[in-house]
Structure formats: structure tokens, C-alpha cells
Copies of this chain bind each other. A is one copy, B any other.
């Protein structure tokens, strides 16, 4: 396989996961119209990939029961890659039916987490990947299929996760038919040295099949870990507006990296995100509209942009 560049990228893709990862962690259900208005606001801010929902059983996640409807709306937004999570082949079928541009399937590096979370072994999950890849080939070959490896940097159940196991499972997932494999710090255990080591190895092994960094801010290292991944050539980063998806400052938080802060870091460094920060901060109002009273996080929205700051997104979109 071809080895991608190991140096930092000149531009990055910020993949907004709030409408899925964020909303599934909130007890209340955001009304469908509000979800669509929020996604519109994110799109207006310049985001070009949004995970809009999840095709899981509505019994498990009633908050995301309207995902098909949200997908149909999001598809009308020009230039947007509409992504949805699918837990298995059945979910993938529904997602393709609704018209997503990209599927993402979670695969736990930790066996303990895989059994606890989806009650499946790695072999069973690889079978699922093969089934989804076959379905996609047959019904919608243009749709992208990503696997996100959760607990890749450690697991609260199992403790440390061996890097060799992560790489072996990553190779198997690509072999089973996924297009891209990303790594997730599900439990906020990653550190920058580990992030560099593991993504460097993933990219050397998988070439252009190496995917996104999904990093958490549970222990405050979210942006440092994103910087570490960026340094070794990662160019797609998951993030959640307002850190939605559990309070990033509380124990047990999912603690997604805050989109606003991540965009600020890259733009301040001169790395283009295509996102207009003023509009991104404005999109918080649309989120708050749909979930009144829900705490939103982010240091940049609180501190404001520094004097003289110019968002590259602003220059390109205004």
C-alpha cells in the first residue's frame, strides 16, 4: 500500500460528530427540526463532514430515532458529506436506504469493551464488516465505509491495550473491506507520545486507508493529542460542538474535543480548516435552541478570539 505523507498537512478536515455522539449522550431528545437547524448552522460555518445520527435500535437510543429524516435533510446541503454510525449490517442497510454518503462502524480494540458494548467478539465484528462491505459494493459503491477503532489507546475495563493488537485488528478491518480505519481515545487515556507512535505506525501500515483521529478531552489533553496526531500526518479530526457528549470537565465524561477550540488551534497555526470561527460560535445558538439549558463547553467561545485574529475560513467564505 502507498504510504501517505508523514509530515503535517496544510489543511485539515474537521468532522463534526455532535449530532450523533453528542445527542446520544444527552437524556433529552432534540426535536428533529432543531437538529436540522443546527446542522444547517454548522454547514453555514463551513463544516463539510457531519455525523448526523446513528442507525441503532430506537429502543436503545430514542434520541436518534429520527436519523433517517435528518439524513434526508442534511443531503440537501451542498458539499456536505453526510455520515451516520451503524452498529451492524442491519443498520447499514437502513443508512444506505436513507442516503448517507459515509458509514462509520465502531470496533473495540479492547475485547472486554467489545463484549460489554456490542456483545460481539472481534471475529464477529469482522464478519459484520465483510457483510457491510458486500452490501455497500452491491447497493451503493460510491458510499464510503469507515471503521472507528474505539479504546485504541486504553480501556477502562481492560486497562492498557497492546499496540500490536490495535495494528493487527486495523489490518484485519481493512482486509474485511472497510475503506478507512480511524483510532478513538474513547476513555480519555491517550497521551501525545502514544498518539504519535500509534498513528505513525497505523499510517505506515495502512497507507491511505489510515483514517481520522477521534480524541477526547477527559483529562485536558484533547488538543495536545490532536496536535500530536497532526504532527505525524493525520488530517481528519473528529470534534463536537460545545464538547457535547458529556461534560468534558466531569468524571466519566465522554469529553469530546470541542470543535470551536480545535478549529481555533488549527486556524491560529495557519492550518486551513475551511471553518469560519465566528459563524461556528454563532451555531452554538442553534444547538442551545434545541437543547435549552444544556451546558456547552469551549474555552475560545468564553475567552473570545484574540485581537487581530483572522480565521482562514472567514477569508474564504466571506
Chain B residues with CB under 8 Å of A248's CB are 299
Interface residue count on the A side (C-beta < 8 Å): 46
The interface-forming segment of A15-23, A83-91, A130-138, A216-224 is: A216-224
CA distance A13 to B134 in the complex (A): 55
Q: Which of A192, A218, A253, A298 has the largest count of B CB atoms less than 10 A from its CB?
A: A192
CA distance A268 to B228 in the complex (A): 14
8 A Cβ contacts from A29-87 to B: none
Binds B, one of A94-102, A141-149, A183-191: A183-191
Interface check A7, CB cutoff 8 A: no
Interface residues of A in 265-301 (CB under 8 A from B): 265, 268-271, 298-300
- Are A218 and B269 within 8 A (Cβ)? no
Residues of B near A177 (CB, < 8 A) are none
Q: Is there an interface contact between B268 and A304, defined as CB atoms closer than 8 Å? A: no
Contacts of A251 in B (CB 8 A): 302-304
| Complex CA–CA separation, A193 to B268 (angstroms) | 8
Please, which residue of chain B has its CB at the minimum distance from the CB of A192? Answer: B227
Provide the residues of chain B in CB contact with A191, threshold 8 Å. 265, 268-269
Which B residues are in CB contact (< 8 Å) with A221? 223, 261, 264-265, 268, 299
Question: Which residues of chain B are near A250, meaning CB under 8 Å?
Answer: 302-303
Among A114-122, A154-162, A163-171, A204-212, the one that faces the other chain is A154-162
CB distance from A226 to the nearest CB of B (A): 7
Contact B306 A189 (CB under 8 A): yes
Query: Taking the complex as formed, is A258 at the interface, i.e. its CB lies under 8 A from any CB of chain B?
Result: yes
Residues on the B chain within 8 Å of A226, using CB: 224
- CB pair B253–A217 under 8 Å, yes or no, is no
B308 x A219 contact (CB < 8 A)? no
Residues on A facing B (Cβ under 8 Å): 154, 156, 159-160, 187-189, 191-194, 217-221, 223-224, 226-228, 231, 248-253, 255, 258, 261, 264-265, 268-271, 298-300, 302-304, 306-308
What are 13 A-B pairs with beta-carbon distances under 8 A?
A154-B308, A156-B306, A160-B308, A191-B265, A191-B269, A193-B269, A219-B299, A220-B261, A220-B299, A224-B224, A249-B302, A251-B303, A255-B303
> What 8 A-B pairs come out closest when comparing CB atoms?
A220-B299, A191-B268, A193-B269, A159-B308, A220-B261, A223-B224, A224-B224, A189-B306
